[in-house]
């Protein structure tokens, strides 16, 4: 067998292969310190479209990431590669990769290239997977500081991040479900039910900045607290906020007196603002939070700290910072409980905020704090049970015309689910573009593969200018275990079992995905999660259509089966129906103990 040794240090920035006299083939070869940009157009730099697509995605996550010079994409510390030496080594490997080869990555570093065969994944990546007894934040920080591991986020290290839109569709689904569950909306009438209401939330980072936009799509006003004025201003300039202020009175007046939905960014600390709003007896309709609370050291500004002092203190006295951050989170959570008691709909939005508060308050507070539900258990699980989740596609041409063709395809293909056309219509006018044109769209079992195969035909006949990459968030029906986020309160008690994400990764490799990534939590998420990510490219070849169908059906199908086994009737119905399209049959061996009906 031919094993290829990668020479990560062989290419210093100045020696990068060049496209022209002064132009490196990829911005990855020139960075850090230069703007990162994904290649557009029909031209190939790699030896085939599958590798070219993955290289463009790697470039793209840094083009739109939070701190590309440090390879940080989102979620506080979520990185695209171990360090710049490794980033260059990976880019070089992708440029030279043949279709019969697989590039193997371990925690963001290039390990080697193996001969695996034409339908094997081009990239297999494992990030920070650690035995349970050693999966602590302290060990993670030590190893990360020594350059031995990274937190890959969900989509950062797997190069599947598409900016705030990645979570925007989910937050839109979430607010829509809340409108139906709590405010009496009929399907399709969510915006009417939310008009005149407002949400209090916080965090305008990589993911959090989606919140005001998804609220606006449903005519819900928002007041979002953000500690960093630059983040708030960035979103205002992108059109996602109508107004930014550091004055709580002015922010409240704008939201409470608004005659039409309004999105206000309030520069401040959530740990101070929430208690003050509760003290004044002002009750928002909905309350949540999307600061990077999962990471007490790097993700949540403690009350009383200035941003610059916090950044220094994280290195100088990390234990103190963590203690102060958790104390502040506990204050914020106490205020959320008060607001819930006063009638607000309060939930946690996937950031471990309750866990952090309980750690400060003591285990006695657990039951009280956990009266705040997690968003997945409370609202979105019935969709996951049908394999409906955060599917996404990326136009590798970089052309808006391709984006339009695919949007229209989604509207046309699924007339039985009018909510899909509704979402696409809203997304086209409300989502500020970031990087390569991309769309997140909550499609279900059978719909994803049908869409991807149809898109493959459009690549083949030249309607689309270049291939399209399909992916999804790792937080999907089969692919994520996190007992306080995706799998909280599973009916069969399987909240902490990582069997399904691991099976998912194996199935994705077996069915011919182009990239499969298995991630474990890092930073504050150490020990909390396991996930699987997938990317697959529609390059127009007939054999690709076969892989697209197998791979995407296996992925969403396993999600349905997981929920069927756990006792969710929506999943059993999906099995009986052959998925959302009726054309993706599944075999459920329902005699397995703990199965649904």
Phi and psi (nearest 5°) for 438? -140, 155
The interface with ligand NAD within residues 449-508 (CB under 6 A) comprises 475
CB of residue 427 to ligand NAD, shortest distance in Å: 17
Residue 302 or residue 505: which is nearer to ligand NAD going by CB? Answer: 302
Pick one of 68, 163, 206, 387: the residue that binds ligand NAD (CB under 6 A).
Answer: 206
Question: In terms of Cα–Cα distance, which of 303, 290, 277 is closest to 204?
Answer: 290
Give me the half-sphere count of Cα atoms (radius 13 Å) on the Cβ side of residue 343.
6
Residue 270 or residue 378: which is nearer to ligand NAD going by CB? Answer: 270
CB of residue 30 to ligand NAD, shortest distance in Å: 25
Q: What does the block give as tokens for 188? A: 């399709």
CB of residue 226 to ligand NAD, shortest distance in Å: 5
The interface with ligand NAD within residues 505-534 (CB under 6 A) comprises none
Cβ-based neighbour number of residue 281 at 10 Å: 8
Residue 300 in the binding site for ligand NAD (CB under 6 A): yes
> Which residues, including other chains, have CB under 8 Å from residue 494's CB and lie 6 or more apart?
487, 500, 566, 594
> Which residues, including other chains, have CB under 8 Å from residue 59's CB and lie 6 or more apart?
26, 27, 28, 36, 37, 38, 39
Q: What does the block give as tokens for 366? A: 């657990």
Residues 228-247 as x/- pattern, contact with ligand NAD by CB under 6 A: x--x----------------
Phi and psi (nearest 5°) for 470? -110, 140
Provide the 8-state DSSP code for 218.
T
Pick one of 107, 165, 290, 581: the residue that binds ligand NAD (CB under 6 A).
Answer: 290
Provide the 8-state DSSP code for 259.
S
Residue 351 in the binding site for ligand NAD (CB under 6 A): yes
Q: Which residue is nearest to ligand NAD (CB)?
A: 205
Interface region with ligand NAD, contact rule CB under 6 A, candidates 57-65, 234-242, 288-296, 396-404 = 288-296
Question: In terms of Cα–Cα distance, which of 175, 164, 237 is closest to 204?
Answer: 164
Residue 295 or residue 338: which is nearer to ligand NAD going by CB? Answer: 295
Q: How far apart are CA 10 and CA 424, in angstroms?
A: 46
Q: What does the block give as tokens for 496? A: 């902490």
> Catalytic pick from 293, 441, 515, 561?
441
Residue 12 or residue 307: which is nearer to ligand NAD going by CB? Answer: 307
CB of residue 190 to ligand NAD, shortest distance in Å: 18
Residues 78-117 as x/- pattern, contact with ligand NAD by CB under 6 A: ----------------------------------------
CA 142, distance to chain mean position in Å, is 26
Largest CA-CA distance found in the chain, in angstroms, rounded: 71
Question: In terms of Cα–Cα distance, which of 32, 111, 14 is closest to 71?
Answer: 32
Question: Using an 8 Å Cβ cutoff, are 353 and 329 in contact?
Answer: yes
CA 363, distance to chain mean position in Å, is 30
Residue 294 in the binding site for ligand NAD (CB under 6 A): yes
Place of tokens 């309060």: 346
CB of residue 392 to ligand NAD, shortest distance in Å: 13
Residue 473 or residue 555: which is nearer to ligand NAD going by CB? Answer: 473
Residue 223 or residue 396: which is nearer to ligand NAD going by CB? Answer: 223
Residues 155-174 as x/- pattern, contact with ligand NAD by CB under 6 A: ------------x--x----
Pick one of 53, 124, 277, 292: the residue that binds ligand NAD (CB under 6 A).
Answer: 292
Pick one of 81, 207, 361, 406: the residue that binds ligand NAD (CB under 6 A).
Answer: 207
Residues 243-272 as x/- pattern, contact with ligand NAD by CB under 6 A: --------------------------xxx-
- Would you call 441 a catalytic residue per the annotation? yes
Question: Using an 8 Å Cβ cutoff, are 351 and 74 in contact?
Answer: no
Q: How far apart are CA 83 and CA 88, in angstroms?
A: 9
Any idea what the Cα angle at residue 557 is, between residues 554 and 560, rounded to 5°? 155
Positions marked active-site: 441
Q: Return residues touching ligand NAD (CB under 6 A).
A: 66, 74-76, 167, 170, 202-208, 225-228, 231, 269-271, 290-294, 299-301, 349-351, 475
């Amino acid at each position: 067998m031919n094993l290829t040794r990668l020479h990560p240090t062989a290419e210093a920035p100045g020696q990068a292969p060049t496209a022209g006299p002064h132009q490196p083939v990829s911005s990855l070869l020139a960075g850090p310190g230069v703007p990162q940009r994904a290649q557009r157009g029909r031209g190939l730099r790699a030896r085939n479209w599958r590798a070219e697509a993955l290289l463009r995605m790697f470039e793209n996550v840094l083009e739109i990431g939070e701190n590309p010079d440090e390879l940080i994409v989102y979620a506080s510390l979520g990185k695209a590669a171990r360090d710049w030496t490794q980033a260059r080594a990976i880019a070089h490997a992708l440029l030279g990769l043949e279709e019969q080869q697989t590039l193997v990555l371990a925690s963001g570093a290039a390990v080697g290239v193996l001969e695996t065969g034409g339908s094997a994944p081009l990239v297999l990546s494992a990030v920070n997977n650690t035995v349970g007894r050693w999966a602590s934040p302290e060990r993670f920080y030590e190893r990360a500081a020594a350059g031995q591991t990274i937190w890959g986020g969900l989509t950062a290290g797997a190069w599947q991040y598409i900016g705030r839109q990645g979570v925007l569709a989910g937050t839109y689904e979430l607010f829509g479900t809340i409108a139906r569950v709590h405010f009496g909306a009929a399907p399709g009438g969510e915006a009417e039910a939310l008009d005149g209401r407002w949400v209090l939330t916080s965090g305008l980072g990589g993911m959090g900045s989606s919140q005001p936009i998804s609220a606006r799509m449903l005519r819900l006003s928002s007041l979002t607290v953000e500690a960093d004025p630059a983040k708030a201003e960035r979103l205002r300039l992108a059109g996602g906020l109508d107004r930014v202020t550091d004055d709580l009175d002015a922010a409240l007046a704008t939201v409470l007196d608004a005659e039409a939905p309004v999105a206000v960014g309030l520069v401040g600390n959530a740990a101070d603002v929430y208690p003050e709003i509760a003290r004044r007896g002002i009750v928002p309709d909905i309350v949540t939070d999307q600061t990077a609370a999962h990471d007490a050291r790097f993700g949540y500004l403690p009350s009383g700290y200035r941003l610059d002092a916090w950044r220094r203190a994280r290195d100088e006295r990390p234990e103190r910072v963590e203690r102060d951050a958790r104390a502040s989170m506990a204050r914020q959570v106490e205020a959320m409980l008060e607001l819930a008691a006063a009638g607000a709909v309060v939930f946690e939005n996937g950031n471990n905020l309750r866990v952090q508060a309980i750690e400060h308050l003591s285990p006695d507070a657990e039951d009280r704090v956990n009266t705040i539900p997690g968003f997945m258990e409370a609202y979105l699980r019935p969709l996951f049970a049908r394999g409906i989740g955060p599917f996404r596609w990326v136009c590798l041409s970089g052309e808006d015309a391709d984006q339009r063709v695919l949007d229209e395809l989604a509207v046309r293909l699924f007339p039985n689910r009018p909510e899909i056309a509704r979402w696409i219509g809203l997304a086209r006018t409300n989502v500020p573009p970031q990087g390569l044109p991309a769309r997140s769209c909550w499609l279900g079992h059978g719909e994803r593969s049908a869409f991807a195969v149809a898109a493959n035909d459009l690549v083949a006949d030249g309607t689309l200018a270049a291939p399209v990459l399909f992916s999804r968030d790792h937080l999907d029906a089969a692919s994520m275990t996190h007992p306080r986020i995706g799998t909280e309160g599973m009916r069969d008690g399987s909240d902490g079992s990582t069997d399904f994400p691991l099976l998912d990764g194996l199935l994705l490799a077996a069915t011919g995905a182009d990239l499969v990534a298995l991630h474990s939590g890092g930073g504050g998420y150490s020990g909390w999660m396991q996930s699987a990510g997938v990317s697959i490219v529609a390059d127009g070849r007939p054999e690709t259509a076969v892989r697209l169908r197998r791979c995407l059906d296996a992925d969403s199908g396993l999600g349905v089966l997981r929920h069927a086994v756990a006792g969710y009737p929506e999943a059993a119905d999906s099995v009986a129906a052959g998925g959302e399209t009726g054309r993706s049959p599944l075999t459920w061996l329902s005699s397995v103990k703990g199965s649904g009906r």
